[in-house]
Structure 1
Amino acid sequence: MDFTFTEEQEQFAEAIRRFLMTEMTPELTRELWATESGRSDALWRQLADQGMAALMVPQEQGGLGLGEVEWAPLAQACGYFALPEPLLDTALVAAALLRDALPLVQDDAARDHCTTLLERIAGGHARVAVAHPHELLVADAHVADAILCEHEGAVHLLRRDQAVLTPRAGLDPSRRLFELAWTPSGDTQLISAAAAAAAGLWDGALNRGALGVAAQQLGLTQRMLDLAIDYSAQRKQFGKAIGTNQAVKHLLADVAIQLEFAKPVLHRAASALAQGLSQAGLHVSHARVAAARCAWSAARQAIQVHGAMGYTWELDLQIFTKRAWALAGSWGDRAFHKARLGAHILDGAHDIGAGATFA
């Protein structure tokens, strides 16, 4: 079985990386920190023009009709450049949730609303926030045109004015988090709890959200590693670059090895989700744990290489370390995903130990 990306997938991912390299600069990140919303409508429009908002939207609603496999390298690129826009929440999680919910919507008006919303997402005219039960705070609800909410298992679709938003401060200035207060009603309910559970809508949203976080963490790992390598080549002590010291080389080599081992785990998780495999959640949790370990190690070692300079506001490194730390608890923390892995490994149905590795 061939798990390599196709030429078209590679070309699309490379085009996005080149676009983000030009447009998503650390200077823009700092400019957005000083704005009220922290978001750029112009950048969102550009992202949509690149086709990123339409990726998961079905072709019937003007989208590309692609899936999680295509998102794996794109989300890594979003992490590498610390993209602040809610692209993954809207175009990966919300778009897929609306797509899967559409056949289950009974009310004609609600179905038309879902269809229109998908079309607007594909065209870059709508941002959608997701209030998942595993997420205590909702990201980017302040710029969302609609908010998908859970109440006792049912799926509700709110306008922004139907919820009271209370901002909550976070570690990363680029992440805008809000506590939601809203009242469920028949007008807001889109899918009943029984139908949502049968279709696995909220489980699917959790898995896609966690996949997006894992991919971003790997992108952040690569960026922090690159910054540390560059700094170690430029910073000199006793007349030679600190990167020539074996101790520094070993720190960065350990991160690079972890990253290379985590990448195929992420791609397997994306493939399992795209194929709808029953163990997709297990693979997503494996990717999430591996990626979180990579990002934590990269942040620690990059700051170690930079020394005291690594903690300063002026260095770009802090943009990426803060994002890595902030994402650690997003879409299920490390304990949650380790528990999912442990439940599978220790369920008594699988042989464990070195001799059973390839059984």
Structure 2
Amino acid sequence: RAAGLARVPGSIVALVLATAAVAVFGLPVETIGSRFGGIPAALPDFTLPAFSWESARFLLMPTITLAALGAIESLLCARVADGMIGDRHDPNQELMAQGVANFVTPFFGGMPATGTIARTVTNVKSGATSPVAGMVHALVLLLVMLAAAPLAASIPLATLAAILMFVAWNMGEWREFARLKTYRLPYRVTLVSVFLLTVVFDLTVAVEFGIFAACLTFIYRISSLSRAERITAAEQPLLAGQDGKIAVWRLYGTVFFGATKLVESLEDSLPARALVLDLKNVIYVDSTGAEALEGLSKACEARGVALIVSGLMGQPMDIVRRIGLYQRLLGHLQPDVASATAAALAMAEASS
């Protein structure tokens, strides 16, 4: 019995006791009924809103921001719940259900909503282990609206304010501020900035800035992970005595607009005979990176240097085909760096 009582949310206990105390002692505090006249005791009517471009163009960015925020919030909430109950959610199902619900509710006077960590954690701590808990939650709210609306009108607003403050405090994730010292400076700046913008301005501005800052941080991190490494004769014995004639470079990471300097720098130090470019460890090439590779190919052709590419596969192979660079490299593609080095040596000897 004690274990069962322990699962009763404390906010419900506080709500019931405070409402009873106000009614018994006649305390002079405002209630839902005295301030708002109570809560509706019937289902809302279907209402078709007025659509106009003048309104839509001002709502476009807030709509996109809230949709992105709602998706992130709901998936994060589902992830937290997975860890608490040892389950695994279906992201597509979560987002489809949320999207359909948020599309329908405005026609009945509703507001967009997401899965929230505060309610989910409360549900789990009360014994919830499946999506049925959310259905029960909705049915209880429906029951309160249809049958207990007069009783809900007696709830003191001060009690609701205290519960909301408690929920907001639990949602704050204040421990993250204590953990900031373990993260790099860009993450610290982003988190603190988003927090301050939320308090000073509003959530829309904070989310827009947060997404922008996260994109910049991601670009910086990815570009810093991309690198070029020159292969020497210690790894490829065929390169012995070929300094200045043959150069072999291996690229790592991604070749995108933030890392094209890796390819452009190769143009400044081209060898006399052949350049081998090993792309086995390149996982992604964007359009700007592809143009940089094409520019390198043209520079080699203009200076009479053979460009041999090895290890080209996956997405990099696809974009090289789409921009037409694959046709320029026909006869100069090799499966691995050893074969490419041997081919470069043969070309160098044939041209000398």
TM-score range, shorter chain: under 0.3
Give the structure-2-normalised TM-score.
Answer: 0.22
* Bigger Rg over Cα: 2
Structure possessing the higher relative contact order (Cα contacts under 8 Å, 6 or more residues apart):
1
**Normalized against structure 1, the TM-score is what?**
0.21
